[in-house]
Structure 1
C-alpha cells in the first residue's frame, strides 16, 4: 500500500510542473484569482459531496466489493477528466530561455530559476511557512480525539464546516486578490492565520469552543493566503521563460517542506512528552505546547514577507480602507443574488445596492451589467457606477457616453457628473451640443459639478446660443454651484437668469432661478432655507439681516449730500418690512441698490463682473419688471438677501482696499 501511494504521489508531482506552466499560459493574469477561486470552490464542493456519498456507499456495500466499485468509478472519472483536458487547445508559446541559451547545460537551465532573486525570495518564504504551518497539522485530529474526547460525528461536523468556509473563502478572496494583488493580502492575512494554532491551546475537555472558532477563521484566512500566494507565483515567473523549470523547483521545494513538517512535529511532540502542568486552571501538555510553538515560530515567515516582491500591488492600508467600505458580507450576498436573478427589476435594485455600498469589489460586477439585455438594468448599472469612484467605472462610463449607439448616454453623463470626473469634460461638452434635450440636460448638470473653467465656459456659451424652456434653467442652476473653494458661483449666470424670469409663468421655476442667482452671489441655499422656515422663524432671521444691512450701509463713506437720502430710504424699507408691504419694501430696496451702484461702482470697464455690481443690477431689474412683486413674500425675502449682500460686500471690499 505504501509503495502504491508513493508511485501515485510521484506520478502526480511529475505532471504538476507542466500543468502549472500550461495553466499560466492559458488563463489571463487579470482573472487568475477569480478562476482559481472558482475552480477550488468547485473542487471543495465536489470533494465534500463525494466524500459523504462514498461514506454512505461503503456503509451499504461493505468490504472489498464496495471499495472495488468506488475505485472503478474513480478510474473512469479520471479517464473522462483526461479526455476533457486533452481536448483543451494548447496556446502558442513564445521563445523560451531554453531556445535562447542552447549552449547551456541541462542542469544549468533547470537551476536557472534559483538565480531569479524574486522567485528565490518567494520560494524561501513559502518553504519556511509550509514547514511551520504544517508542523502541527497531523495532530489536530489526534488532539480532538485523544485530549478533548470529541465524538467522530462532532469532528466530522467541524471538518465539514471548515471545508465549506474554505470553499466560500476561495470565492470571496479571488476577486479581492485580482483587484489588489497578492502581497498586500498575504501581509493582511498571515498574522491572523498564524494565530489560529494558538487558539487550539485554549481548548480543554468540556471547554473546546475555541476549536470551531479556530477552524472557521483558519479556513477563511488560509483560503485567502492560498489564492494570494498562487497569484504571486504566477506573476513572479517570467512569461517568456521556461515555466516548467520554475514550477518544478517550486513543487520540489514546497513538497519537501510539507513532507518534512510532520516529522518535525513528531520530533517536537516526543521532546515535549514530559510537559504536563496546570496554568490558569488548564492542564497544559505537549499538544498545547506544539500549537503555541507553531504560532510563535510563525514570526520567522512573517519577517520574510518583507522580502517578497510588490509586483505593482496596493499597500495594505489602502486595501483595508477599500474593503471596509460598506458591509463585505452584504456585498457578497448581493453579488450572489445578482448572478442568479431572472427578474430585471430585481437585478436593477441589486445594482443600485451595490453602487451604494461604495465597495470597489462591486465595480466589476456593475460594469458587466452595462451589457445586460434589459435597458432598465443597463440604466441602473450606469447610475450605480456614479457611486463608485474607481478607474474602471470612469472608463466604462466614458466609453458609453462617446458611443453613438449607446442607449445609456444620459445615465452615463449623470454618473460622470456625480463622480466629478474632469477627464470626461470634453465628452460632456460634446453631449451638451447634442440634439437630444435629455442628454443636454444631463450634460449640463454634470458640467455644473466640475470645478473647471472650460466646463463653465461651455455652459455660458450654450446659454448665449439661445433660450430653451427646459435646458436654460438647468444651465443656470449648474452655473450657480460654487467655483473653487469660495462661496460664489459663476457670476456670468446672473444676468441671463434675470432676463429669462419673465419667460416663465411657473412660480416653481422662478423661485428656482432666484435661488440660483442668490447662490451665484455667495448666499448658498439660504433663500430656499428661509422660504422653508415657519413665518416666525423666518421673520426673526430676516430682521437680523436687515440690522446687518443697516450697520453695513451706515459704515460706508457716503457723500455728504447722500447721507440723509440713504438714512431715509433705509428707514422706509425697514418700516415697509415691519408692516409687510411687499411692493414698498422691494421698491426701497431697489433704490438702495441704485445708490450703492452709483457711488461704489467697484467694477472696471472690461473686467469680470463683481458681486456688488451683479447683486445691484439683479435687484434693480427684477423690481423694474415686477417679477419680485409677483412672488409676494418670496420676492421680499429675495430683496432682503440681495440688498444685504450688496451692502456687506461693499463694506468688505472697501475695508480690504483700505488695508
Structure 2
C-alpha cells in the first residue's frame, strides 16, 4: 500500500531514481521486446502450433495477470516493494532460459507445446506480480505534475531500444533460419534477452524506494468489491475490460498473418516495428506535453478514433503488397503512444492513494481475464473459420481478416464509455484539435516567413 501524505525525499531524489529507472527500463526492454515480438509466434509454429494454439498462447500470457494478486499480498509479506519487484521480475524473465534448451531436449511427441505454455504462464505470473508493485513504487517517485513529461521521455527511450532489438533479433533469426538452424537462433536471442533482464534487476535494486505502509491487503473478494463499487475507479475499470476484449479477439493473429499468409520474413516484419517505433520516438514526448496541458481524457478519445481504423488496413495487404501494413505502422506510431500514456496516467490518478496497490491488482487481473477469454474466443473462431475464403469488394478475405474487422467494430463501440470517463480539469477533444490547429498554423507561418526571407535574400543578390 502506498504511503499516505507527502513523501520526504532525500537529497538528490527522486531525480536520481527517475534516471535510474530509464537505464533499468532500457535493459528490461530488451527482454520485453523479444517476448512480445513475432519471434514467439514463430517459436510456437516451430513446435507445431495451429491457429487455436496461437490464441491459447495469448490467453496463457493473460492468465499470468493473476500474479498481480500475489504481488499485492507479497509486498506486505516481503516488507518492501523493491525486494518483491526485483525478485519476481528477474525470476520471471530468467525462466525463458528453459525455452533456449527446450528444442534440444528429447521429449515425447506432443509434450513440447505444453512445456512451452507452462514456461510462458509461470513467467507471466511472476512478471505481473512485479508489475503491480512497480506501478505503486513509480507513482511515489514521479509527482503528478511531472508524469506526462517523464513517462513520455522514458517511453521514448525504451521505444528506441525495443525498435532496435526487434529489428536486430528478426534479422538474426532469419540468418539462422536460412542456415537451417532456427533452434540455435532462438537459443541465442532468448539467452541474450535473459542476460539483459539480469542486468536490469541489478540496476533496479539501486533505485530508491520511498517508505510505504505495506499492509496485507483485504481478501480478494473485498478487493474486487471495493474497486468495482468505487465511482471514481469503476468506469475506468470497465473501460479496460471492454477494450481488452475488443483488441484481444484479433491481437494474437497479426503476427501469425504476416508469417503464415503473407510469407514475410521476420527481418521484414521488424520493419513494421521500425516504422512505428520511429514515429513513436517523435510523437511520444509531444503527447506527454499535451497531457500535462489538457489532461488525459481528450488525448485518449482522440487516439481511440484513430486506433479504430487500424485493423482495416490489413484487409488490403497481400503477399508482396505490404503498403497497407506500412501505413498502419506509421499511424500506430502516432495513435497508440498517446492512448497508452493517457490510460496509464488515468489509472494512476483514479486509484486512491491509500488503496493503490490492491486497485492496480484488480485492474490487472480483470484486464487479464478479458484478454484470456477474448484470445480463446479468437483462437476458436480462427480455427473454426480456417477454411473460409470470402470475396468482398474485390478483396480475398480469410479467417484472420474477419477477426481484424470484428476487432475494429468492437473498438468503435467502446467510444461512448471513454467519453464518460471522469477526470478533473480535463480539456475537451475540441480544445485538443484547436491546440493542434494552432501549432500547425504556427509551423506553417514560420515556414512561410522563412521562405519569404530566403526569397528576399536571393533578390538582393
Q: Same-fold call, TM > 0.5?
A: yes
Query: Could you tell me how far 1:122 is from its partner in structure 2?
Result: 0.5
Query: Could you tell me how far 1:52 is from its partner in structure 2?
Result: 4.3
Structure 1 residues 290-369: aligned runs within 5 Å = 290-327=403-440
Which is further off, 307-316 or 255-264?
255-264
Residue equivalent to 1:88: 207
Pair 328,288 (structure 1): closer, same or farther in 2 beyond 3 Å: farther
Residue equivalent to 2:112: none
Separation in 1, partners of 2:162, 2:297:
29
Pair 178,269 (structure 1): closer, same or farther in 2 beyond 3 Å: same
Which is further off, 215-224 or 205-214?
205-214
Query: Could you tell me how far 1:304 is from its partner in structure 2?
Result: 1.4
* Structure ranking higher on relative contact order (CA contacts 8 Å, 6+ apart): 2
Q: Is 1:174 matched with 2:288?
A: yes
**Normalising by the residue count of structure 1, what TM-score does the alignment of the two structures yield?**
0.45
Query: Could you tell me how far 1:75 is from its partner in structure 2?
Result: 4.5
Residue equivalent to 1:260: 373
Separation in 2, partners of 1:23, 1:268:
39
Post-superposition CA distance 1:122-146 (Å, at most 9, x none): 0111111111112212222333344
Query: Could you tell me how far 1:43 is from its partner in structure 2?
Result: 1.6
Separation in 1, partners of 2:338, 2:223:
33
Q: Is 1:43 matched with 2:43?
A: no
**130, 146, 162: which one aligns with 1:31:** 146
Pair 257,276 (structure 1): closer, same or farther in 2 beyond 3 Å: same
Tell me if structure 2 keeps the 8 A contact 1:201–1:287: no
Residue equivalent to 1:384: none
Separation in 2, partners of 1:63, 1:207:
26
Separation in 2, partners of 1:204, 1:68:
31
5+ unaligned residues in a row in structure 2: which ranges? 1-115, 451-461
Tell me if structure 1 keeps the 8 A contact 2:233–2:351: yes
**391, 400, 406: which one aligns with 1:287:** 400
Query: Could you tell me how far 1:38 is from its partner in structure 2?
Result: 1.8
Pair 74,279 (structure 1): closer, same or farther in 2 beyond 3 Å: closer
Structure 1 residues 397-416: aligned runs within 5 Å = none
Query: Could you tell me how far 1:116 is from its partner in structure 2?
Result: 1.0
Query: Could you tell me how far 1:91 is from its partner in structure 2?
Result: 2.1
Pair 71,200 (structure 1): closer, same or farther in 2 beyond 3 Å: closer
Q: How many residues end up aligned between the 2 structures?
A: 330
**Normalising by the residue count of structure 2, what TM-score does the alignment of the two structures yield?**
0.63
Separation in 2, partners of 1:291, 1:67:
29
Bigger Rg over Cα:
1
Pair 108,278 (structure 1): closer, same or farther in 2 beyond 3 Å: closer
Separation in 2, partners of 1:75, 1:153:
21
Tell me if structure 2 keeps the 8 A contact 1:161–1:216: yes
Post-superposition CA distance 1:166-190 (Å, at most 9, x none): 3433232121122211111111111
Pair 280,83 (structure 1): closer, same or farther in 2 beyond 3 Å: closer
Separation in 1, partners of 2:202, 2:256:
40
Residue equivalent to 2:87: none
Structure 1 residues 130-209: aligned runs within 5 Å = 130-205=244-319, 207-209=321-323
**363, 367, 373: which one aligns with 1:250:** 363
Pair 13,353 (structure 1): closer, same or farther in 2 beyond 3 Å: same
Separation in 1, partners of 2:220, 2:364:
19
Query: Could you tell me how far 1:329 is from its partner in structure 2?
Result: 11
Tell me if structure 2 keeps the 8 A contact 1:111–1:245: no
Tell me if structure 1 keeps the 8 A contact 2:163–2:273: no
Structure 1 residues 368-447: aligned runs within 5 Å = none
Pair 233,81 (structure 1): closer, same or farther in 2 beyond 3 Å: same
**111, 129, 134: which one aligns with 1:14:** 129
Separation in 1, partners of 2:163, 2:288:
20
Pair 123,206 (structure 1): closer, same or farther in 2 beyond 3 Å: same
Query: Could you tell me how far 1:266 is from its partner in structure 2?
Result: 2.0
Separation in 1, partners of 2:199, 2:270:
30
Matched position secondary structure for 1:226: helix
Separation in 1, partners of 2:249, 2:446:
45
